[in-house]
Amino acid sequence: MREEKKETIESRKVANFGGLADILFPFLLPIKGVAWIGEKIKEAAEAEFTDKSKVQEELLKLQMLFDMDEISEKEFKKKEEKLIEKFEMIKKYEEEKMG
């Protein structure tokens, strides 16, 4: 219990210093804002890139197009190979990220 209190006291000191830094160095606020926006864009792009469900959905659509004879077998194989490669890249990225 004491360790938890100590951690909260330490985190408050850090948080207060953060606010103090904003008062003492207001010219850094725009830089912090740009960094925050950049981080949010990075997070959104990463979420978009690593969405396996979208790749699976594209594979299903591709299979439907092939089954309905709307695309040739050659075109199907070509697109399917690209989607499977993308899916495997996402799996590899997630494994590396998990460590």
Helix H, strand E, coil C: the string for 4-25 is HHHHHHHHHHHHHHHHHHHHHC
pLDDT tens column, 36-94 = 999 999 999 988 888 999 999 999 999 999 999 999 999 999 999 999 999 999 999 88
List alpha helices for the chain, DSSP H: 2-24, 29-49, 52-67, 73-98
Q: How far is it, in rounded angstroms, from Cα 6 to Cα 42?
A: 34
Contact 66, 73 (CB under 8 A): yes
Amino acid at 72: S
Q: Where are the domains of the chain?
A: 1-45, 50-99
Q: How far is it, in rounded angstroms, from Cα 86 to Cα 90?
A: 6
pTM of the predicted structure, to 2 decimals: 0.58
